[in-house]
A and B are shown apart, each in its own frame.
Chain A
């Protein structure tokens, strides 16, 4: 049975072949082109990935139930931008509070497991609390540099038997998180919608 060459061996052969068959300058050029190609592919791959909150879903919504325009979700630890009344992240499926890294936390802000027991770090000590910041006011400022981002107007829809509050994160930026021109939405003053979050109100509908 013929043995398949290992990856290292194959890579070595390719490098020898390229080096032997071309001049040094053209070899460097080929390697450069390969690197550029790989980078471009990664960039294109990133571009193909839709901004969360912009993809069409069942019912004519975008990204999540209740969201009827195409502005993307504010970046958070999860794909769905569920927040509490203060705009801080919650785990979408059950509404439990999480820190910016997506770890469940207790009332003291300490990371916990599913059962509510404090998480231990690699050194056996309890894991240190991490920051838990507002997805709009703090997160958009941190990630996109819009220091004026603030949660403003909202609208309401019935989702899964309860009223969901959809909330516009507004900024004076002419561009929204999708990268294109931002819309006025329910923002006040000269602000426009940069991204959106939602709150499950718990009110039946």
Chain B
């Protein structure tokens, strides 16, 4: 069939290139669809035994290619319909040939590699993984045509002796990789969190937690200047020249320009939020949590709220004399806003059981928070003290990604986005209009 894809048969070099592209796309697409079907069919089958079976099929196929065992490979012993290229348009016959060869069993199969790939896709038990597995087979079909060049009979004849050794190597490698994983495989523990998270913004300066191989540290980023790194710290809250963060001893406030310590609150405290001379934080007392606002000028503290075991009291957002926070648990997932002047509390969002409302952040006029239903999270924004419905300004779709904490300034929102496979975080920036 390779001699079909020559300039003479296709009617010119450009038409030959078009035919090869169409053929390759069709071959890869058909193989991927076949792989997806196999992956879906394999979903209910026991993974471990299927992997063992896939490894054995690959090993037997390798033995066959090496000539150690002999058996016929199931396939239709025919070529692609030759008259198509004479009777049908170029795109039709080239895509048809690609589909037939991508599907694998539509023509004569000289090697057993196709069936080993099918078994692999079935064993994976996942349509996407199966599609990728078989798409590789389709790519191989495309490469065969591209590699054949304008004189396919001569070139393929020269490389023909490499077909079996390459197949043996690939099949042996697959069997060697799959079998130990199937027999002894123990999933690795989730990787340690890494990347940039927990943003906080004040007057164009952003502070965030950076986690790598070692202990996390806080980075203060000023436009046009070198980043300032505060070692052994996380969960920053920046306000003007002051930076509050959590370290191994509790909460520490420093002047981030000089590094001079301004305040320290030792003990089981975290989730600081700094605004002017006030610091809000969450204090852990056994399994209980309470939200405290401390006036750094007078040293006076007041408890805003307290929750019991099993209830998540989120990171507060303190702006002037307003504080917002979330309480998330089984029956209720709510965001609150309280005026420290009047003591009145407003329920900003009430999610019930299946809708989580978490991580509120504020400007002086707006409040934003994350609302999650299942694997989908959206960041909602609404004016404070207004009955207007919230609008969506960002969204994160799981299960690959998770939404983390936020930061906000007039016209811009920062969102921590976690990648669940690697537990790495990025801070994404979104513009929004007043």
Interface residues of A (CB under 8 A from B): 57-62, 65, 67-69, 84-86, 88, 95, 97, 105-109, 129, 131-134, 137-138, 141, 147-150, 153-159, 163, 165, 186, 199-205
Sample of 6 more A-B contacts, CB < 8 Å, known A85-B190, A154-B399, A156-B356: A59-B310, A60-B331, A65-B310, A69-B354, A137-B125, A163-B418
Q: Which of B40-48, B105-113, B169-177, B406-414 is the interface stretch? A: B40-48
B398 contacts partner chain A, Cβ-Cβ < 8 Å:
yes
Is there contact, CB below 8 Å, between A154 and B374? yes
Point out the residue from B189, B330, B398 that lies within 8 Å of A60, measured CB to CB. B330
Q: A59-B311, A141-B46 are in contact. Are A153 and B193 (CB under 8 A)?
A: no
Is there contact, CB below 8 Å, between A156 and B185? no
Is there contact, CB below 8 Å, between A95 and B189? yes
Which residue, B186, B191, B331, B373, has most C-beta atoms of chain A within 10 A?
Answer: B186
- Chain B residues with CB under 8 Å of A129's CB are 184
* Interface residues of A, dominant DSSP: loop
Return A150 CB to nearest CB of chain B, in Å.
5
Is there contact, CB below 8 Å, between B47 and A137? yes
Return B291 CB to nearest CB of chain A, in Å.
15
A-B contact count (CB 8 A): 132
Task: Name B287-338 residues within 8 Å CB distance of A.
Answer: 287, 308-312, 314, 328-332
B332, closest chain A residue (CB): A60
Is there contact, CB below 8 Å, between B418 and A203? yes
Is there contact, CB below 8 Å, between B184 and A60? no
- Chain B residues with CB under 8 Å of A105's CB are 186
A148, closest chain B residue (CB): B44
Q: How far is the CA of A184 from the CA of B417 in the complex (A)?
A: 28
Q: A137-B47, A150-B44 are in contact. Are A85 and B309 (CB under 8 A)?
A: no
Is there contact, CB below 8 Å, between B190 and A201? yes
Which residue, B47, B192, B314, B404, has most C-beta atoms of chain A within 10 A?
Answer: B47
Q: Which 3 A-B residue pairings sit nearest by Cβ, starting from the closest?
A: A59-B310, A60-B330, A60-B331
Q: A59-B330, A97-B187, A153-B375 are in contact. Are A205 and B404 (CB under 8 A)?
A: yes
Return B150 CB to nearest CB of chain A, in Å.
48
B167 contacts partner chain A, Cβ-Cβ < 8 Å:
no
- Chain A residues with CB under 8 Å of B47's CB are 86, 134, 137-138
Return A81 CB to nearest CB of chain B, in Å.
16
B202 contacts partner chain A, Cβ-Cβ < 8 Å:
no
Q: How far is the CA of A202 from the CA of B76 in the complex (A)?
A: 51
14 CB contacts below 8 A, A to B, read A58-B309, A59-B330, A62-B330, A85-B187, A95-B189, A129-B184, A155-B375, A156-B356, A156-B398, A158-B314, A186-B375, A201-B423, A202-B190, A202-B191
B402 contacts partner chain A, Cβ-Cβ < 8 Å:
yes
Which residue, A61, A107, A199, has most C-beta atoms of chain B within 10 A?
Answer: A61
Q: How far is the CA of A117 from the CA of B106 in the complex (A)?
A: 54
Point out the residue from B125, B187, B314, B329 that lies within 8 Å of A59, measured CB to CB. B329
Q: How far is the CA of A148 from the CA of B373 in the complex (A)?
A: 25
Is there contact, CB below 8 Å, between B193 and A203? yes
A142, closest chain B residue (CB): B46
Point out the residue from A109, A138, A159 that lies within 8 Å of B186, measured CB to CB. A109
B183 contacts partner chain A, Cβ-Cβ < 8 Å:
yes
Is there contact, CB below 8 Å, between B312 and A202? no
Q: How far is the CA of A141 from the CA of B48 in the complex (A)?
A: 14
- Chain A residues with CB under 8 Å of B308's CB are 58-59
B329, closest chain A residue (CB): A59
